[in-house]
């Protein structure tokens, strides 16, 4: 795949984020080109989720800035979709699946506009893409974790954005759901979409992503997977947690470290 790195679609410059005056991200500077499936990878507490929340403007930065399409996010918000961690959502909120997916259209409709027939058709098509069309009238709280994740992905698809930021979309789901989601993300990439995900499983990272960001409070490396997914850079990212793997072959196969949260 040919990637034009000279014209990045996402730019993060000198980004520092602090909680209670304690830095959780320090001087992060990176770019991500258009049309890649990118994984943000690092140990627990590395600031991965904080990074994409700050990029979205959900978490304020202490310094630095993010640009999408060369502009602040507020000028292009309808072109950017965010999928939060499933654990952060109140799933007891009374809403049907079809209504949750329709929320993806609101950024294009305006605050008080009602969904049109075309918007409902787009939402239905998004549900079909994630295999959830038969659950449209089901209460969101009645779904399994994997089904809820599919619905949130359908909501993002209904937005028809150009850039998708996803916070651990594979956490807590079964293998078949993960396989279905990654195939959908690869299809989105083939359509020119840019997908950026927080990911915790090194074992699948090489297979899933063509662009990788290695993060541990600061940026270790960012670039094409074949250039970044190297033993020395992974060792720098994870530190002593990788010293148990004495052979390069074991390191690259990622036997027993780290695994996706079940």
Distance CA 86, CA 256 (A): 25
Right CATH for 79-161 from 1.10.1660.10, 3.40.50.300, 3.50.50.60, 3.40.50.150: 3.40.50.300
pLDDT digit string, tens, across residues 205-221: 989 999 999 999 999 99
- For residue 222, the surrounding DSSP H or E stretch is strand 218-224
Q: What is the dihedral of CA 56, 62, 67, 68, to 10 degrees?
A: -10
Q: Hey, how many other C-beta atoms are within 10 angstroms of the C-beta on 169?
A: 25
The CATH code for residues 1-69+164-173+194-252 is: 3.40.50.300
Q: pLDDT exceeding 90 applies to what percent of the chain?
A: 56
Q: Please list the ranges in the chain whose pLDDT falls under 70.
A: 1-6, 88-92, 108-113, 240-262
Q: Hey, how many other C-beta atoms are within 10 angstroms of the C-beta on 2?
A: 4
Q: Hey, how many other C-beta atoms are within 10 angstroms of the C-beta on 254?
A: 18
- Identical fold for domains 1-69+164-173+194-252 and 79-161, yes or no, is yes
pLDDT digit string, tens, across residues 234-247: 999 998 655 543 33
Give the pLDDT confidence score for residue 232 in this predicted structure. 93
- Answer yes or no: are the C-beta atoms of 17 and 24 closer than 8 Å: yes
pTM across the whole model: 0.85
> Where along the chain do its domains lie?
1-69+164-173+194-252, 79-161
Neighbouring residues of 141: CB distance < 8 A, sequence distance ≥ 6: 91, 92, 93, 94
């Amino acid at each position: 795949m040919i990637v034009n790195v000279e014209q990045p679609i996402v730019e993060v410059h000198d980004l520092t984020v602090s909680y209670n005056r304690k830095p959780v991200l320090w001087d992060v500077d990176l770019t991500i080109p258009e049309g890649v499936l990118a994984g943000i990878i690092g140990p627990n507490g590395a600031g991965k989720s904080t990074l994409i929340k700050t990029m979205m403007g959900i978490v304020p930065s202490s310094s630095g800035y993010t640009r999408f399409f060369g502009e602040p996010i507020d000028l292009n918000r309808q072109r950017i979709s965010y999928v939060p961690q499933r654990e952060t959502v109140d799933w007891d909120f009374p809403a049907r699946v079809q209504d949750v997916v329709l929320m993806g259209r609101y950024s294009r409709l305006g605050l008080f506009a009602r969904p049109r027939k075309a918007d409902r058709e787009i939402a239905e098509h998004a549900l079909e893409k994630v295999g959830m069309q038969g659950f449209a009238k089901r209460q969101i709280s009645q779904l399994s974790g994997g089904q809820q994740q599919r619905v949130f992905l359908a909501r993002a698809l209904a937005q028809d954005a150009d850039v998708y930021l996803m916070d651990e979309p594979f956490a807590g789901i079964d293998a078949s759901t993960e396989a279905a989601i990654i195939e959908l993300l690869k299809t989105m990439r083939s359509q020119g979409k840019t997908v950026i995900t927080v990911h915790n499983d090194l074992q699948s990272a090489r297979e899933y992503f063509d662009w990788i960001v290695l993060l541990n409070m600061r940026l270790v490396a960012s670039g094409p997977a074949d250039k970044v997914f190297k033993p020395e850079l992974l060792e720098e990212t994870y530190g002593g947690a990788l010293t148990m793997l004495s052979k390069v072959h074991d390191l690259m196969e990622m036997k027993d470290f780290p695994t996706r949260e079940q």
